[in-house]
Amino acid sequence: MTMNTHKHGVTEEDVRLVFQCADIPAQIIKMERIQNGFCNPVYKITTNEKPYILKITNPHWKTIKTINEAIVMKFLSEHTNIPVAHVYCYSNNTELIGYEFILMEFLPGVTFSEIYSDLTLEQKKPYLQQIARHYRTMLEIEITSVNEMQFGCFEKLESVNNRLLATLGPNVDSRRGPYIDLYDYIISNIEFRIQELEHCKYKCYIPQFLSVIEKLREEQKTTTHHERLVLTHTDLAPKNIIVDPTTHTVTGIVDWEWSCMMVTDQDFTTMTQESVWGDDETRQFLRQEIELCLGQVKYTKLLRRVERRKHMMDPVTFSMCLVAYPDWYRGREKEAIEYEKRLERETEEMFARFNV
């Protein structure tokens, strides 16, 4: 996925219109583009009352991404103790200021990734313990789809007669779905990435990914999945966690735009990846904290599901990484080369496991 970064700016008049939409009478003192948000511009708006965050949706994604993130954040802030920004208003069309947007609460602190590499394990522990507890909270949320669709992003989340009901829509990135079956969800994501591989240096991998799809289709004929699905973040990484270094607390979890209804091990897989969390010692401690939060029985079941589905998730992960990593490492050529070598090796090892 070769992504063009957002090149257009937001004016002070745009912000005034957004504030009017949110019925906020505050006086704008300063607005600045902040570093968070590679694909989606994020502005910190300082006013005479308090700061706000204005997130602009990149025109590459229309409607679905803005709705998905806004309603998930509103839902979590109303029904859980997970630290998410309060949403004041949002628009999934471009009529007001020329862009889709979300106006939200400013969360104090810095991204965990900004200080992560400078911290010892002992210094990381308070943050990791809180992250594990928030993950447990997400797993405990009971959400039911309003129809037979089980896998997809959120078009609506509501409480009806003490039940949390979800109306699911297409995947934010591929704009495909929603799906009844996990295999259909997985295969559709691989097919979407194959289209993007046509335009990058790894076009040569397409025949092997097509063979992987054939193997999964055969497996689908004899396999069923009857299990609980949950609201997942899908990118629970240090870059999306806001922390306060003075109080050693997690003050926010951000970037819910990719969240979806998915199997319970989706976020666990991200939270224990070496490429995301680094050294073995840190990842082992995070695993231990998750086990403490869930209890040994639930944790053991979670590990079994992760292992059982690894062969299904890997093709989705690697096909996405092959097209997206140039954007991730833009301006960091040395790191990009190192990651590229590891990615190629791990992708070929995955193909070998499928015997393709």
Question: What pLDDT does residue 154 have?
Answer: 96
Residue 96 per-residue DSSP state:
T
Question: What pLDDT does residue 196 have?
Answer: 94
Show the 3-state SS of 219-232. HHCCCCCCCCEEEE
Domain ranges of the chain: 12-105, 110-354
Q: Let me know if 131 is exposed, middle or buried by CB neighbors in 10 A (0-12, 13-18, 19+).
A: buried
Counting residues of the chain whose pLDDT is more than 90, the rounded percentage is: 74
Question: What pLDDT does residue 260 have?
Answer: 95
Superfamily of domain 12-105: Phosphorylase Kinase; domain 1 (3.30.200.20)
| CATH class for the domain made up of 110-354 | alpha beta
Q: Give the Cβ contact number of residue 125 at 10 Å.
A: 16
Question: What pLDDT does residue 335 have?
Answer: 85
Question: What pLDDT does residue 3 have?
Answer: 39
Whole-angstrom distance, CA of residue 329 vs CA of residue 103: 28
Question: What pLDDT does residue 38 have?
Answer: 56
Helix intervals (H) in 160-273: 182-197, 206-220, 266-271
One-letter amino acid for residue 66 of the chain: T
Question: What pLDDT does residue 57 have?
Answer: 86
Q: Give the residue ranges of the chain where pLDDT is below 70.
A: 1-8, 35-38
Q: Kindly state the tokens that stand for 291.
A: 């086990």
Question: What pLDDT does residue 1 have?
Answer: 41
| 104-119 residue pLDDT tens | 999 999 999 999 999 9
Question: What pLDDT does residue 264 have?
Answer: 85
User: Fold identical between 12-105 and 110-354?
Assistant: no
Question: What pLDDT does residue 35 have?
Answer: 64
Place of tokens 């691989």: 190
**Is the full-model pTM beyond 0.85?**
yes
8 Å CB contact between 109 and 44? no
Question: What pLDDT does residue 37 have?
Answer: 53
